[in-house]
Amino acid sequence: MRNPKSILITGASSGLGEALALDYAAPGILLALTGRDRTRLEAVAGACRDAGATVIAETVDVVDEPAMKGFVARVHAERPLDLVIANAGISIGTGKETEAQEQTQTVMRINVDGVVNTIAPAVALMREKPAPGAGPRGQVAIMSSLAGFRGFPGAPAYCASKAAVRVWGEAMRGELHQFGIEVSVICPGYVRTPLTATNRFRMPFLMDADRAARIMRRGLERDRGRIVYPWRLYLLVRVLLALPTPITDRMLRRLPKKE
Ligand SMILES: NC(=O)c1ccc[n+]([C@@H]2O[C@H](COP(=O)([O-])OP(=O)(O)OC[C@H]3O[C@@H](n4cnc5c(N)ncnc54)[C@H](OP(=O)(O)O)[C@@H]3O)[C@@H](O)[C@H]2O)c1
């Protein structure tokens, strides 16, 4: 949607969430930011206030369903939500070991349950907003990944979690259209953030977070269902998907793993 005035972003204490918060920060904008690290979150909140935004910053774990519901409701009561970005997520690689059950479940809890805990209460509240004139009632965005188009060895749980929220978001887009709620799924390639800083392999078409934030914002303003970038990596993934599975399996087995 164009010109959202009340924006909630999870995982805003670093990386893409921080870059989005800084990009949207301006006079007249209410930003509601969450993360778990209070110090980093307050630093981002301070920078957004310096840019003129009103900021509500709270350390809330996205896995904590009642806490997330309460946070979303408090922000909506302050100023009805226009845009909610479910960005918080983690990436754990398997290194040399096969992924343990506990690790898989942790990734699923944060990357899948955390997204649902953010989006579901927001959508319920947006649906009750008075019918707008020509524009939408609100917009929600779900942070998936290019890793959500295919299972890559080295990060099975991460890929599965990103595939789950991508498909969920795409279905929700069709479901929520009738209520005037826009849904976008965001699928970044490699972006320079703390999440990718530990990768010891060459990341093709790696980009900076502020540039990624501008691309995401433009896509959201245009109500793109799928915001995928960089396009060259997307093209490679599409080619990979078109190849016969035995060939892709052989190719992917050779890829370096995330530690
Ligand atoms: N960077 C990339 O190349 C890339 C590519 C594709 C998709 N993505 C996705 O983009 C999103 C942001 O990643 P990033 O690269 O910006 O990583 P990042 O710098 O590590 O940021 C992750 C953010 O999520 C928050 N977070 C993690 N677990 C949380 C939890 N349980 N509750 C609340 N907040 C939590 C972190 O907060 P604290 O640090 O305060 O705990 C942090 O603010 C993720 O969903 C990631 O999968 C990133």
Q: Which H or E element spans position 137?
A: none
pLDDT digit string, tens, across residues 163-202: 999 999 999 999 999 999 999 999 999 999 999 998 888 9
Residue 242 falls inside a structural domain: yes
pLDDT digit string, tens, across residues 80-107: 999 999 999 999 877 667 678 899 999 9
pLDDT band at residue 259 using 50, 70 and 90 as cut-offs: low
Catalytic residue among 158, 190, 229, 234: 158
Closest CA to 168 of 86, 237, 91: 86
Q: What is the pLDDT of residue 246?
A: 94
Phi-psi region at 11: left, alpha or beta (left = phi > 0; alpha = psi -120 to 50): left
Residue 207 falls inside a structural domain: yes
Report the nearest atom of ligand 1 relative to the CA of 88: 24
CA 195 to centroid of ligand 1, rounded, Å: 7
Measured by CA distance, the residue closest to atom 19 of ligand 1 is 15
Question: Percent of the chain at pLDDT above 70?
Answer: 98
Who lines ligand 1 at CB under 6 A?
Answer: 10-17, 34-37, 40, 61-63, 87-91, 110, 114, 143, 145, 188, 190-191, 193-196
CATH number, domain containing residue 115: 3.40.50.720
User: Tokens 């343990």, residue?
Assistant: 100
- What pTM, to 2 d.p., does this model score? 0.97
Residue 179 falls inside a structural domain: yes
Residue 259 falls inside a structural domain: no
Residue 245 falls inside a structural domain: yes
Closest CA to 140 of 215, 225, 77: 225
Assess whether 24 carries a catalytic annotation: no
Cross-strand partners of 229: 188
Token readout for 100 is 């343990």
Residue 258 falls inside a structural domain: no
What's the number of domains the chain is made of? Answer: 1
The average pLDDT across 102-131 equals 95
Q: What is the pLDDT of the chain when averaged over all its residues?
A: 95
- pLDDT tops 80 at residue 132: no
Domain ranges, residue 28: 6-253
